[in-house]
Structure 1
Amino acid sequence: MRVVICGAGQVGFGIAERLAAEQNDVSIIDSDARQIQMVTEQLDVRGIVGWGAHPDVLARAGIDQADMIIAVTLHDEVNMVACQVAHALFNVPTKVARIRAQTYLAPEWSDLFSRDHLPIDVVISPEIEVGEMVLRRLSLPGAIDTVSFADGAIVAAGVVCREDCPIVDTPLNQLTQLFPEAQATIVAVSREGKTIVPTALEQLQVGDIAYFVTQADQVQRTLSIFGYDELPSQRILIAGSGNIGYYVARELERRNPLARIKLIEKNRAKAQEAAEHLNRTVVLNGDALDQSILDEAGVGEADIMVALTNDDRINILSCLLARQLGARRILALLNEQGYAAFARGLGIDAHVNPRQITVSRVLQHVRRGRIRGVHALLDGSGELIEAEALETSPLVGKQLRDLDTLDGLRIGAILRDGKVMQPRGDMVVRANDRVVLFALAERIKRVEQLFRVALEFF
């Protein structure tokens, strides 16, 4: 696949890194020559210095032969114009744009991105994507990562195996006997920095990060089997009233009438604006690193402290201070990929990485075959994927135990006719099944082949 990426920042670099590693033909455009030099020195991609919305710059990037343009610069308008130019002058089939300003996404302007106006096939809003991820974390205490598939019918979650975890040192094939109420499949394990696809005889160890897949209404029960029995957070303290912090507070007000929400914002004008638009949230103007402000916000009684400012260091330090002052759980927004392991070592329960979320959203539309959902995890070492099995799929008509193609893959659940089923060795995949699985990064191409649309299908 030939892809042109506009923007070589964190998100653009992350997308280019993934696509180049999978042997795609990638060109990346940025107005910052130093940024382009850094990308081309690290990745096997073509770098072009210039503005991604300019036709001559796009032409130098090979846009006339591209299958897709992905516009993820810091400027919404550049992203929109780049897609318009790619469509009007070069007839690029698929156009993806990152749009951050919420006014463009308001329901009353929904026709803006139609083919007759601004022909953008996929609009990605990082603030909404990240905000929804934070809301899912708040509803599932104990999970360090969550994502839903199959229109919300199936959920995948990651948990840390603590010393009091009841299922450590137990072969996975015995879990059903020991916990008959457990209707979940463990599809991936991160152990000492290495990601593995567990076999039936694998045993979880203390310190492992385990990812399981289950029916949506079984997630809380599965978390309790791992030793996490906490109720969803009700007393919530948020640091930062930017786009993400404001979105989380507003949606909490709408979705959870029992939630008691307090929000700390350092900028006085932004704090006043948030106070004017939020109904039940108590807004405090102050620094989240100021102990007196945290005390005034009742941090010692908070179920969770959620740090969503634009500064990773403030997020980490304010979370650690909140923990010291009595907050039961802490959640930090971390933009820098390298901070994740550092924060975990300091005791931060969970973090959200906007770049990883945005990259996952883009990959969903890059993947070949009938891929419906993608979620990159564990620093990109693997992906949770939802795919639809068509009549031409090599999976269809065979028992799972007879398939010799599943090395490096593990199926977590299958949705058939609206019913979620756990995979079993004697199960036969049927056409139109929606399959949720985990695949190591080096096996992604195989997943695409398993769910490809063959020419004979037409």
Structure 2
Amino acid sequence: MRIIICGAGQVGYSIAAHLSREENDVTVIDMNKALIARINDELDVNGVVGFASNPNVLNAAGARDADMIIAVTRSDEVNMVACQIGHSLFGIPKKIARIREQAYLEPAWSNLFSRAHMPIDVIISPEVVIANDIYQRLAVPGTTSVITLGDGLAHMIGTLCKEDCPVVNTPLGELRTLFPDLSFQVVAILRNGRPVILDENDQLEVGDEVFFIVDTKHLRRTMAVFGHEEAEARSIVIAGGGNIGVGLLTLLKERAPGVRIKVIEQNEERARYLSEQFEGMTILHGSSLNRDILEESSIEHVETFVAVTNDDESNILGSLLSKQYGCKRAITLVSNNAYLPLIGTLGIDSLISPRSIIVATIMQHVRRGRIRGLHNLYDGFAEVIEAEVSEASSIVNTAVEDINLPREIIVGALIRGEKIIIPDPDFIVRPGDTIVILASHTQIHNVEKMFSVQVDLF
């Protein structure tokens, strides 16, 4: 596939890295010569220096033969115009744009991105996507990642193994024997930020981030297996009243009206705006690093502190201060990847990486074909694929244990009708089953071959 990516920042770079690894013909456009030089040096892609919405630049990038354009520059307007030109002048079939300004997305202007006006196929609003991610983590306390599978029949959960985790030092192969009434399976482990190739004799260690697929009916009890029995928060302090904070606040008001919420906002004008928009809500004007403000928020009685300001240091320090006061849990937004290795040692419960969330969201829309769902895990170390098994598949009427799989591909679950099944080795795969596979990015092509599933681009 020929793909043009507009923007060579963190998100554009990450998308280019994922797609180029899978033998796509990728061209990246950016005004910044240094960013293009870096991307040319480090990735197997073509770099073009120029303005992404300039027709001549797009033409030089191969727009006439492109199958897709992904516009993720810093400018909403450049992203929109690049997609419009890609459609009008070059007939690019698939157009994806990142748009931050919420005014463009208001219901009153819902026709803006229609086929007749500005035909962008997929709009990614970072603030909306991130707010939804945080809400899911609030809804399932103790998680670092929540992915819905099979229209809600199952979930892929990420969580940290802390010192009180009951199954630390327990071989993975014994977990289902120890908990026979729970339908779950460990499919991935991150240890010191690196994936572990799983074996049934492997044991969980303190500090591991474990990923498991679980029947939704057993989700709460399975979280307890990994040492997380936290109840849903009934009191929350949100530090940061920007678009992410407002998005989260709106979701909570709609879906969890009984939750007590306070917002800390440093900008006086913004704080006044929030007070007008959310009448009756407690809005505190000040910094989350100010102890007087934290005490005014009654932080010692708050269950969850959510830090979503535009400043990483404020988010990290505010989270640590809140926990020092006795707040039970901290969810922290951190944009600078340099801080990520430190987070686990600081006692922060859940990290929000905007880049990882946005890249994963875009990749869901990039891949289509005969699959029901595809989900990208942290920085693409693995992908979760939901694929329907066809009559022609080589694995039809085959026991799971007889499917010749590399270690980097794991059958996590099957969905048959309205039932989620964590398969035993002798379980027989039938036509029409939806199979949930976790595969490293290097194994995507093997997934295509083994399961007769073409993981196509759109």
Matches of 1:67 and 1:23, distance apart in 2: 14
Compute the RMSD of aligned alpha carbons: 1.9
Equivalent in the alignment of 1:49: 49
Matched residue SS, 2:337? coil
Structure 2 counterpart of 1:340? 340
Cα distance, 1:452 vs structure 2: 5.0
Give identity over the alignment, percent.
44
- Verify: 1:3 aligned to 2:3, yes or no: yes
The reply on whether 1:171 has 2:171 as its aligned counterpart is yes
Work out whether 1:302 is the aligned partner of 2:308: no
Three-state SS of the structure 2 residue aligned to 1:338 is helix
Contact 2:155 2:213 in 1 (8 A): yes
Gaps of 5+ in 1: none
User: Which structure 2 residues correspond to residues 195-344 of structure 1 after superposition, within 5 A?
Assistant: 195-344=195-344
Q: Residue 144 of structure 1 aligns to a residue in which SS?
A: strand
SS class of match (1:371): coil
For 1:283 and 1:246, how far apart are their aligned partners in 2? 12
Q: Distance in 2 between matches of 1:80 and 1:10?
A: 19
Q: CA deviation at 1:2?
A: 1.4
Do residues 73 (structure 1) and 80 (structure 2) align? no
Are residues 149 and 24 of structure 1, via their aligned partners in 2, closer, same or farther at CA, if it must alter by over 3 Å? same
CA distance in 1, matches of 2:278, 2:367: 39
Residues 73 and 452 of structure 1: CA distance in aligned 2, closer, same or farther (over 3 Å): farther
CA distance in 2, matches of 1:13, 1:42: 10
How far residue 451 of structure 1 moved from its aligned partner, in angstroms, is 5.1
Q: Secondary structure at the match of 1:309?
A: coil
Aligned to 1:83: 83
- 1:240, 1:307 within 8 Å by CA — same for their partners in 2? yes
Alpha-carbon separation, structure 2, partners of 1:441 and 1:415 = 23
CA contact (8 A) 2:79 2:97 kept: yes
Residue correspondence of structure 1 range 46-195 to structure 2 within 5 A: 46-195=46-195
**Kept after mapping to 2: 8 A contact 1:253/1:279:** no
- Go from structure 1 to structure 2 and tell me whether the alpha carbon gap of 1:245 and 1:418 turns closer, same or farther (over 3 Å shift): same
In 2: Cα distance, 1:272 partner to 1:75 partner: 27
2:169 match: secondary structure:
coil
Distance change (3 Å), C-alpha of 1:112 and 1:332: same
The 3-state SS of whatever aligns with 2:233 is coil
CA distance in 2, matches of 1:346, 1:186: 26
Q: Deviations over 1:245-290 (max 9, x none)?
A: 1111111111112211010011111111111112453111111111
CA distance in 1, matches of 2:75, 2:397: 48
Distance in 2, matches of 1:19 and 1:10, equals 14
- Tell me the SS of whatever aligns to 1:345: helix
Letter in 2 for 1:401: E
Answer whether contact 1:413 1:437 (CA < 8 A) is retained: yes
SS at match of 1:247: helix
Query: What SS class does the counterpart of residue 332 from structure 1 fall into?
Result: strand
Q: Which residue of 2 aligns with 1:415?
A: 415
Q: Tell me what 1:350 maps to.
A: 350
| Structure 2 Cα separation of the partners of residues 29 and 277 of structure 1 | 39
Find the aligned partners of 1:430 and 1:93 in 2 and give their Cα distance: 35
CA distance in 1, matches of 2:185, 2:29: 42
Q: Would the aligned equivalents of 1:372 and 1:387 in 2 still touch at CA under 8 Å?
A: yes
Using structure 2 for the length normalisation, give the TM-score: 0.94
Runs of 4+ with deviation above 4 angstroms:
450-454
Q: Which amino acid aligns with 2:186?
A: I
Aligned amino acid, residue 441 of structure 1 = H
Q: Which residue of 2 aligns with 1:445?
A: 445
Residue 330 of structure 1 deviates from its aligned partner by 0.7
Q: Distance in 1 between matches of 2:177 and 2:451?
A: 33
Write the distance in 2 (CA, Å) between the matches of 1:172 and 1:280. Answer: 49
> In the TM superposition, what whole-angstrom CA distance separates every residue of 1:51-106 from its partner, at most 9, and x where no partner exists?
21111110111111112110111222221221111112111121111122223333
2: CA distance between counterparts of 1:105 and 1:91? 24
Equivalent position SS for 1:90: coil
Q: TM-score, normalised by structure 1?
A: 0.94
Residue 89 of structure 2: SS of its match in structure 1?
Answer: helix
Deviates more, 1:367-376 or 1:72-81: 367-376
**C-alpha separation in 2, matches of 1:22 and 1:152:** 29
Deviations 1:186-233 (A, max 9, x none): 000122343124233332222222101112232211101111111011
Change in CA separation of 1:318 and 1:230 when aligned onto 2, cut-off 3 Å: same
SS at match of 1:229: coil
Deviates more, 1:402-411 or 1:426-435: 426-435
Given the superposition, is the C-alpha separation of residues 81 and 428 from structure 1 closer, same or farther in structure 2, using an over 3 Å criterion? Answer: farther
Q: 1: CA distance between counterparts of 2:144 and 2:127?
A: 19
Which shows bigger deviation, 362-371 or 309-318? 362-371
- Following the alignment from structure 1 to structure 2, what is the Cα–Cα distance between the partners of residues 278 and 137? 23
Alpha-carbon offset, residue 450 of structure 1: 4.2
Deviation at 1:430, TM superposition (A): 3.1
> Could you list the runs of 5+ residues in structure 2 that have no partner in the other structure?
none
Residue-by-residue CA offset, 1:387-439 (whole Å, 9 max, x unaligned): 33333333333221111134311122222222211122222333333322221
Specify whether residues 305 and 216 from structure 1 end up closer, same or farther in structure 2 by C-alpha distance, changes over 3 A only: same
Distance 2:374 2:453 in 1: 18
Q: Residues 361 and 395 (structure 1 numbering): CA distance in 2 closer, same or farther, change over 3 Å?
A: farther
The answer for the alignment partner of 1:426 in structure 2 is 426
Deviation at 1:138, TM superposition (A): 0.9
Quickly say closer, same or farther: Cα 1:350–1:453, change in 2 above 3 A. Answer: closer
**2:145 is aligned with what amino acid?**
D
Spell out the pairing of 1:393-412 with structure 2 (5 A cutoff).
Answer: 393-412=393-412
